Chains A and B, each alone.
Chain A
């Protein structure tokens, strides 16, 4: 018996071991790319922001002078404020549009496929195309300004609202919303489709109003989609550089633009300064996203208890 048992365990253990080995082998390339590329960038970025750049002949590690210089300048906080403002405003407006839009698109109506596809178009084109559209539509010499002139509302381009090149960032937010509503809607639609209509139907049978169904049934159902879509869009918004550069109000710039300007400087010390900017940006982004996730978990848990 013991002999047979050992033989049996031998036979079954070996494939399991092989299977484990195979699993590890299959996941390794992904780990290598993620850790090597992405992890390397993170580690090196942090090292550099603390003054480690021997290839430029700079090695002051560890120094906090780059962070100090940054955090003690009031311009940095204005830049940070602008960066967060554009990110928050665009994400919030995007959500307010895409939640009802995804619900509307889940309904049956004439040419619903066509409309669904039309609203998805911005997802398929580069941000730079969105910026080009903003330039031709929204500038003081743009189409809206011309239409206003045609209607006799203004008689000089300077009288039109300064949509672009303003620190209010209407143009930047418009481009982000234009581009991200399809992404959010698509994510939410997939969640909606999977959840099905059973609970909504049940709620309706029980006599819930449309408003009650939305707040009590649909919204909690799509919450995971809302959280992940808004996380991704917010992170993108505060890290993007082309829209604030082209459509923004100039000095003080958003943090990615500021970092890029530092990085473009021939003076290498400024490149370390730029690195301190992006590390600060990543830090702020991490704090906000972490708080958001934590809040969401707490909300889920509270719901679970109720």
Chain B
């Protein structure tokens, strides 16, 4: 009710303006890039955006389509809700976000500039956002200009705003909107592992594997799930005992010699558990390509643990039949469970930028976030302390249950993710040391791969 009055006034104002300068504005606004620069300068009200969004009519939303329940939420909840706002959501399911980033960069390289691309909206984080940002392929600083940006903490002085302002240590610059806050959580099959045998540290994991060889593996880097496992190993084996702290710096700040020194014990650990991993007894451990494959290994008792991003991954696995009946969450690795957010970004050459903003605004609403949490098991990306009591209660009642651990325990063991500029180097080092078995001092390998990456 409170919002109606200014809304009506704005609408009146907008329609008057529209009548007065209809032809001129319409023509000027249709020139590529004008909408973007006017919006970013703050010359456009939200009504102008929604009006233009209705004109544009549709929005091409690129997202990872590997989960049936997320697909269902997009099709059955988000699409009708946006249709009611006059925007047709066109969901494009992809298997890897990197492909979409490549498409955008390739289009820009081919001269398909503003409003001439094919991607309006992409679900993104970490390295992929970093690539887009580095290539100047992002639309602009929109996130704090949307009506639903009130649901997020943007105050730099509040440490809780960190994940809204930095994505893998890279400044978001308001060029992407938080969508979901995830945490790296492992599940354990209680049919095989008792509570007292459940490892909480990497050393305990190794002890478990010595008694039960082959019953663990992790997704192969450069998949982000594999990268995350490797990062948590590095945090836990930091020779200075400072955990994640040095990994917040960029590669330039840290330097390859220092990075190699920090990584050495962690990489040694990864080498030492290779023979104990799934298939490791035969000399060639099997690293699954993605979470679907790991889920299947977990279901068939080929491994006893399943580590992936997903605060509610255990719940989702149980209700889809993808996890074994006795799957439970576990606190592992204690104190180093990486938490981050994932985001929605608009590429520079988005053909329907206004519709993309309207869609992001919808995705950032309490209603969308609550239904997404409830039906797709995706944690919220907005910040609960920014919400009214009723709104926060709506979110709380929508949350799926946990199994064997509490939300508080999960919250108590979080660690930040690694700076995006280091992620590439770490993953290339893993590929060199673990996959290609290059037998050189780690410092040389780190120097070599970082040199190759920068070329």
Query: A residues within 8 Å of B by Cβ?
Result: 55-57, 75, 139-141, 156-158, 162, 165, 167, 249-251, 264-266, 268
Q: What residues on A are CB-neighbors of B101 within 8 Å?
A: 266
Bound-state Cα–Cα, A141 to B297, Å: 7
A116 to B105, CA, bound (A): 51
In-complex Cβ contact of B220 among A56, A139, A156, A250 (8 A): A250
> Is B71 interfacial (CB 8 A cutoff)?
no
Roughly how many angstroms separate A141 CA and B302 CA in the complex, as a whole number? Answer: 7
Instruction: Report yes or no: B110 in contact with A158, Cβ–Cβ below 8 A.
Output: no
Which residue from B96, B110, B279, B300 sits with its C-beta under 8 Å from A55?
A: B110
Determine the chain A residues whose CB is within 8 A of the CB of B299 once the complex forms: 141
State in angstroms the CA–CA spacing of A162 and B102 once bound together.
Answer: 35
CB of B284 within 8 A of chain A? Answer: yes
- B247: chain A residues at CB < 8 Å are none
Q: Is the CB of A158 within 8 A of B98?
A: no
Select B301's contact among A57, A157, A266, A268, beta carbons within 8 Å: A157
B258 at the A/B interface (Cβ < 8 Å)? no
Least CB distance, B312 to chain A, in whole angstroms: 25
Q: How many residues of B contact A (CB 8 A)?
A: 27
The answer on a CB contact under 8 Å between A266 and B105 is: yes
Contacts of A268 in B (CB 8 A): 109
Contact of A141 among B110, B281, B300 (CB under 8 A): B300
Partner of B302, one of A55, A140, A249: A140
Whether B284 contacts A249 by the Cβ 8 Å rule is yes
Chain B residues positioned under 8 Å from A167 (CB to CB):
284
Write 12 A-B pairs (CB below 8 A) sorted by A numbering. Answer: A57-B109, A139-B296, A141-B297, A156-B301, A158-B281, A162-B282, A250-B286, A264-B96, A264-B98, A264-B102, A266-B105, A268-B109
CA distance A56 to B108 in the complex (A): 10
Flag B213-233 by CB within 8 Å of A: 1 or 0 each.
010000010000000000000
Find chain A residues with CB under 8 A from B300 CB.
Answer: 139-141, 157
Instruction: Find chain A residues with CB under 8 A from B435 CB.
Output: 251
- Docked Cα-Cα span, A250 to B431, in Å, equals 12
Give Cα A55 to B106, complex, Å. Answer: 10
Q: What residue in chain A is nearest B282 (Cβ atoms)?
A: A162
Query: CA A75 – CA B284 in complex, angstroms?
Result: 16
- Asked whether A162 and B279 contact (CB < 8 A) given A250-B220, A266-B131, the answer is yes
Say whether B436 contacts A251, CB under 8 Å: yes
Interface of A, secondary structure class, is loop
Residues of A contacting B281 in the complex (Cβ-Cβ under 8 angstroms): 158
Taken residue by residue from 19 to 36, chain B's Cβ proximity to chain A (1 for < 8 Å, 0 otherwise) reads as: 000000000000000000
CA distance A264 to B287 in the complex (A): 21
Contact residues of B between 78 and 102, Cβ < 8 Å to A: 96, 98-99, 101-102
- State in angstroms the CA–CA spacing of A156 and B278 once bound together: 12
Interface string of B149-186 (1 = CB under 8 A from A): 00000000000000000000000000000000000000
Nearest-Cβ distance from residue A203 to partner chain B, whole angstroms: 51
Contacts of A158 in B (CB 8 A): 214, 278-279, 281, 302
Chain B residue with the shortest CB-CB distance to A263: B102
Q: How far is the CB of B211 from chain A (nearest CB, A)?
A: 14
**Residues of B contacting A264 in the complex (Cβ-Cβ under 8 angstroms):** 96, 98-99, 102
A-B contact sample (11 more), CB < 8 A, given A158-B278, A250-B286: A57-B109, A141-B300, A157-B300, A158-B281, A158-B302, A249-B284, A250-B220, A264-B98, A264-B102, A266-B98, A266-B131
Most buried by B among A141, A250, A266: A266
Q: Enumerate chain A residues within 8 angstroms of B278, measured Cβ to Cβ.
A: 158
How far is B297's CA from A167's CA once the two chains are assembled, in angstroms? 19
CB <8 Å contact, B98 and A141: no
Contacts of A75 in B (CB 8 A): 436
Q: Which 3 A-B pairs have the closest CB atoms?
A: A141-B300, A157-B302, A266-B102
Instruction: Give Cα distance in the complex from A268 to B105, angstroms.
Output: 10
Task: Kindly state the separation between the CA atoms of A268 and B281 in the bound complex, as whole angstroms.
Answer: 39
Tell me the minimal C-beta distance from A2 to chain B in angstroms.
67
Which A residues touch B296, using CB under 8 A?
A: 139, 141
In the assembled complex, how far is the CB of residue A189 from the closest CB belonging to chain B, in whole angstroms?
A: 39
Q: Hey, which chain B residues are within 8 Å of A162, CB to CB?
A: 279, 282, 286
Give chain A nearest CB distance to B15 CB in angstroms: 45
Q: B287 near A250 (CB under 8 angstroms)?
A: yes
